[in-house]
Amino acid sequence: MNIKNIEIPHGLCLAPLAGVSDRAFRKICRAHGAEYLCSEMVSAAAICYGDKKTPRLCAFDEDEMPMAIQLFGARPAFFAEAAKRIAEGTLEAGLRIPAAIDINMGCPVRKIVSCGEGSALMRDPQLAADIVRAVKEAVDIPVTVKIRAGFDENSVNAPEFAARLEDAGADMICVHGRTRAQMYSGRADLSVIAAVKARVRVPVCGNGDIFSAADALRMFRETGCDGVMVARGAMGNPWIFEEISAALSGRPFTPPKKDEIVAEALRHLSLMLETKPQAIAIPEARKHMAQYIRNFRGAAAARGRLNTCEREAEMRQVLLELASENSEATPEN
Ligand SMILES: Cc1cc2nc3c(=O)[nH]c(=O)nc-3n(C[C@H](O)[C@H](O)[C@H](O)COP(=O)(O)O)c2cc1C
């Protein structure tokens, strides 16, 4: 998949994940074959109002390129101003310029939707198109949009909506095959993604329920999409990108052993501590660590212990003990 000048050889993308796809997680996913990365969603209004903490969400290293910064909001002028500052590198000293700006038109959370943001924009195609046009005028880098199938089952409008966004200048559309009303329940409807693909000329990325290489192959096969975006399936399992890549080229894939999983979880923890203060990194790391160990014997008890850890050393201890309890050499195995 090519998004203008951005080459994504096998179309393997990491989805934006608020509270999850931070620098540490992106680096881990990149190391396992994610070819295109996206930031957590960033408020366009917060950037325009000069919120002090927001620019940190836009920080990334050269080894994370190509990556997109995702903006959410409801006002074209805020989107344009925020995107311009990000794409010109004037948001904060030292911040890099991303490969693309992505626009969030899929977030289902009530707090966001009630402000007319995220998936609420799917009910206002004119405003959504105005936002894309405003951002396109403000920046020289590609502008992409992430949408859902529609707002609810009575308004599954992704194909027409995507066509409006394409006319407004969108350079790639990612479709999560669920409606806003579904939140994360039910199954992603691949037929809607296929209908979007048939309707627009720009690349289309398929998203929803990719938890294995087989799911990704099915997404490619049933929708004709140009790329796949993995979200929950990468949490605790960044190897999914290698697994998909191997399947696409007919190579065998060997899943990681339990000690390799723990080693990677510990590397992830270290990266979090390198990029955030301990008081923030440790609570955030709990959910990641719990995901890595979810298929281990004794995972529930270890999760309970992880939830009380306040320091890196304690967390390491819990994980190393669990690794040794689960080691392939133990008699129960
Ligand atoms: C914890 C969490 C945070 C998310 N944050 C974002 C976000 O910031 N921006 C966005 O466009 N989608 C966000 N999503 C939606 C995902 O990118 C993706 O569309 C959805 O999870 C479906 O893909 P999956 O089945 O591979 O998980 C989030 C999803 C989860 C579970």
Residues 147-169 pLDDT 10s = 999 999 999 999 999 999 999 99
Q: How confident is the model at residue 327 (pLDDT cuts 50, 70, 90)?
A: confident
> Cα(218) to centroid of ligand 1, in Å?
20
pLDDT tops 80 at residue 286: yes
Helices (H), 32-181: 44-48, 54-57, 76-88, 110-113, 125-138, 158-168
Query: Is residue 272 located within the same domain as residue 134?
Result: no
User: Does the residue 10 lie in any domain?
Assistant: yes
Nearest CA owner, ligand 1 atom 15: 17
User: Does the residue 151 lie in any domain?
Assistant: yes
Query: Is residue 305 located within the same domain as residue 202?
Result: no
- Asked if residue 314 has its Cβ within 6 Å of ligand 1, the reply is no
User: Does the residue 330 lie in any domain?
Assistant: no
Tell me the mean pLDDT in the region 246-275.
97
Give me the pLDDT at residue 128, please.
Answer: 98
Q: Any catalytic annotation for residue 205?
A: no
Mean pLDDT of the residues in the chain: 96
Query: Is residue 13 located within the same domain as residue 97?
Result: yes
Query: Longest Cα pair distance anywhere in the chain, in angstroms?
Result: 64
Among 248, 270, 296, residue at a domain's last position:
248
Give me the pLDDT at residue 332, please.
Answer: 46
Tell me the mean pLDDT in the region 114-141.
98
- Asked if residue 232 has its Cβ within 6 Å of ligand 1, the reply is yes
- Contact between 6 and 100 under an 8 Å Cβ cutoff? The reply is yes
User: Does the residue 332 lie in any domain?
Assistant: no
> Cα(328) to centroid of ligand 1, in Å?
34
> Cα(107) to centroid of ligand 1, in Å?
8
User: Does the residue 57 lie in any domain?
Assistant: yes
> Cα(173) to centroid of ligand 1, in Å?
15
Query: Is residue 20 located within the same domain as residue 67?
Result: yes
- Domain containing residue 64: 2-248
Tell me the mean pLDDT in the region 308-320.
96
Atom number in ligand 1 closest to CA 178: 22
pLDDT tops 70 at residue 328: no
Q: How confident is the model at residue 329 (pLDDT cuts 50, 70, 90)?
A: low
Query: Is residue 166 located within the same domain as residue 295?
Result: no
- Asked if residue 41 has its Cβ within 6 Å of ligand 1, the reply is yes
Tell me the mean pLDDT in the region 134-159.
98
Query: Is residue 70 located within the same domain as residue 90?
Result: yes
Query: Is residue 136 located within the same domain as residue 276?
Result: no
User: Does the residue 177 lie in any domain?
Assistant: yes
Tell me the mean pLDDT in the region 65-83.
98
User: Does the residue 73 lie in any domain?
Assistant: yes
Query: Is residue 164 located within the same domain as residue 265?
Result: no
Q: What is the CATH number of the domain that holds 242?
A: 3.20.20.70
pLDDT in tens, 224-233: 999 999 999 9
Tell me the mean pLDDT in the region 319-325.
95
- Contact between 38 and 15 under an 8 Å Cβ cutoff? The reply is yes
Among 189, 221, 248, residue at a domain's last position:
248
Q: How confident is the model at residue 285 (pLDDT cuts 50, 70, 90)?
A: very high
Query: Is residue 166 located within the same domain as residue 265?
Result: no
pLDDT tops 90 at residue 331: no
Cβ neighbours for 294, distance < 8 A, ≥ 6 positions apart: 236
Among 197, 226, 248, residue at a domain's last position:
248
- Three-state SS for 1? coil
Q: Is 121 exposed, middle or buried (0-12, 13-18, 19+ CB in 10 A)?
A: buried
Instruction: Look at strands 2-3 and 172-179 and give their pairing.
Output: unpaired
Query: Is residue 141 located within the same domain as residue 176?
Result: yes
The rounded distance, in Å, linking the Cα atoms of 200 and 82 is 27
- Report how many domains make up the chain: 2
The rounded distance, in Å, linking the Cα atoms of 200 and 173 is 9
Tell me the mean pLDDT in the region 113-126.
98
* Segment holding 207, helix H or strand E: strand 204-207
User: Does the residue 168 lie in any domain?
Assistant: yes
Kindly name the residue from 13, 107, 174, 225 that is annotated as catalytic.
107
Rounded to two decimals, what is the model's pTM?
0.96
pLDDT in tens, 27-70: 999 999 999 999 999 999 999 999 999 999 999 999 999 999 99
Tell me the mean pLDDT in the region 188-206.
98
Query: Is residue 239 located within the same domain as residue 268?
Result: no
Query: Is residue 183 located within the same domain as residue 34?
Result: yes
